[in-house]
Amino acid sequence: MEQTTPRRIGEVIEASTTEFVAESYELHDAPPLGALLRASDGSTDIYAVACHARTGSIDPGRRPIARGRDDENEDEVYRRHPELPQLLRTEFRALVVGFRDGDVLRRHLPPRPPRLHGFIYECSPAELVAFSVKFDCLSTLLSATPPIPADELVAAFLRLAGACRAAGARQDYLVAAGKELARALGNNPQRLTVLLARMQG
């Protein structure tokens, strides 16, 4: 069932003006690549796009090892080692793309970064539709240097933004987005072609 209300998924553990790192409340429960997230600086909602996730040991000195050779399925590993979820954690990184200024959505960097230990919500489809109506944040994403290729991130964001629109409006939206990208990447047709193909899913 498609989620309709914002879901609280984690907490900010590193914050800067341009990006933040958050820890997921549940192991392996990172937001999808390109998902629109909402954080806060205490008074202002801040929007960001999930650009990377990793799961690993809480303690940098301890490395996970293979444990499931004799198990029938992966869940059995966690049943046999109930301590593992407390020794591992999932973190995700997000690029800040905008904020709410009163009733107005701004699609540029906010005055302040989110607060440490601030809650992170995965935006509802309605919030994503509202935020992605304008394409101003695409230039932020295209010029950013996330841990993955920026084009992968832009394509993922637009796929999700398209998917949360009604079937009739989806194609129009992606075409409009494509035109916006063409304006931004007109001098690099090869890059544009690859990005447009990735946008289609």
82 binds another protein (CB under 8 A): yes
89 in Cβ contact with 58 (< 8 Å): yes
Q: Concatenate the DSSP letters of all residues of 131-200 into one string.
A: HHTS-HHHHHHHH---SS-HHHHHHHHHHHHHHTS-HHHHHHHHHHHHHHHHHHHTT-HHHHHHHHHHHT
How many Cα atoms occupy the beta-carbon half-sphere of 199 within 13 Å?
A: 25
Where does this chain touch another protein (CB under 8 A) — which range of 44-52, 84-92, 95-103, 146-154?
84-92
Q: Is the dihedral of CA 185, 188, 193, 195 positive or negative?
A: negative
Pick from 43, 83, 168, 187 the residue near another protein by CB under 8 A.
Answer: 83
Question: Is residue 87 a contact point for another protein (CB under 8 A)?
Answer: yes
79 binds another protein (CB under 8 A): yes
Could you tell me if 5 and 18 are in contact, meaning their C-beta atoms sit under 8 angstroms apart? Answer: no
For another protein, the binding residues in 150-169 under the rule CB under 8 A are: none
Stretch that binds another protein, among 14-22, 77-85, 95-103, 148-156 (CB under 8 A): 77-85
- Judged by CB, which is closer to another protein: 54, or 81? 81
Q: What is the closest distance, in whole angstroms, from the C-beta atom of residue 82 to another protein in the complex?
A: 4
Q: Give dist(CA 130, CA 40) in Å, integer.
A: 18
Nearer Cβ to another protein (8/80): 80
Q: Longest Cα pair distance anywhere in the chain, in angstroms?
A: 57
Q: Is 28 in the site for another protein (CB under 8 A)?
A: no
Residue (4 or 86) nearer to another protein, CB: 86
Binding site for another protein (CB under 8 A): 59, 62, 78-83, 85-87
